[in-house]
Amino acid sequence: MKSYLIANPKGGSGKSTLATNLAGYFARRGHAVMLGDIDRQQSSREWLAIRPETLPAVRGWDIEKDQPARPPKGASHAVLDTPAGLHGKALERVLKQVSRVIVPVQPSLFDILATRRFLDELLEEKAVRKERAFVAVVGMRVDPRTRAAAELERFLSAYDLPVLAYLRNTQLYVQLAANGMTLFDLSAARAAKDLAQWQPIIDWVDS
């Protein structure tokens, strides 16, 4: 099973937006995909609960009483959202179980500072040192015309990591999430601008 970890210790960094839309992409491609959190809250189940049955299926963890959560039988792809503050032994354990890591970051000082600490720790992990292509970055809610966007670009240039894309700040993601949907559930014409921004992410996860 191919598994993708969406990770940043900063709350509100865009992890859920990335995770739900990536799961929606895999589902649209016909894969048996699971979307789940690695923390106890299982907040992704709220999004799964409102996803229309007429759309390509995205499943959650199989959860049974007194049993650890596990991927549903037959799952080929897993997208894992993470809690704020993931670090230390918890980070080390999860890195051993995933295929790749995507780090979302927003163009604000507080997000950059939190992400710097996380990337420094992440790049020291044995699994990452062995294969830097294991990790990539996505800029979230970025208006390229702003000074904040330029600061974000300067910050990311200091790391030897691929920056896959800069996703624009749009209410479309909010509206879709509220209805259990993703960009990949819309017509190509309606989502053309955002799908174009997603293409480098898609190329990377499929490579």
Q: What is the distance between the alpha carbons of residues 20 and 180, in angstroms, rounded to a whole number?
A: 9
- CB contact at 8 A, 33 and 76: yes
Which CATH code is given to the segment(s) 2-206?
3.40.50.300
Res. 204 pLDDT band, cuts 50 70 90 = very high
Residue 123 has pLDDT above 80, yes or no: yes
pLDDT of 132 > 60? The answer is no
pLDDT tens, 93-102? Answer: 888 888 899 9
Band of residue 114 on the pLDDT scale cut at 50, 70, 90: confident
pLDDT of residue 48: 93
At residue 124 the predicted structure's pLDDT band, cuts being 50, 70 and 90, is confident
Please count the other Cβ atoms lying within 10 Å of the Cβ belonging to residue 62.
15
- Two tokens at 180? 């259990």
Angstrom distance (rounded) from CA 120 to CA 74: 36
Residues in the chain: 207
CB-based contacts of 59: which residues, under 8 Å, 6+ apart?
Answer: 32, 33, 34, 35, 48, 72, 75
Pairing of strands 58-59, 33-37: parallel
Report the distance separating Cα 70 and Cα 73, nearest Å.
9
Q: How far apart are CA 181 and CA 178, in angstroms?
A: 8
- Predicted pLDDT at 55: 97
* CA of residue 55 relative to chain centroid, distance: 20
Q: What share of the chain is helix, strand, coil (3-state, %, to 5)?
A: 45, 15, 40
All residues at 6 or more sequence positions from 64 whose CB lies less than 8 Å from its CB, including other chains:
none
Mean pLDDT over the full length of the chain: 87
| Domain residue ranges in the chain | 2-206
Q: What is the pLDDT of residues 52-89, one digit of tens each?
A: 999 999 998 776 655 556 777 899 999 998 877 677 77
User: Which residues fall within 8 angstroms of residue 132, CB to CB, at 6 or more apart?
Assistant: 123, 160, 161
Digit-coded pLDDT (tens) for 147-166: 888 888 888 888 888 889 99
Assessment of whether the complete model's pTM goes beyond 0.85: yes
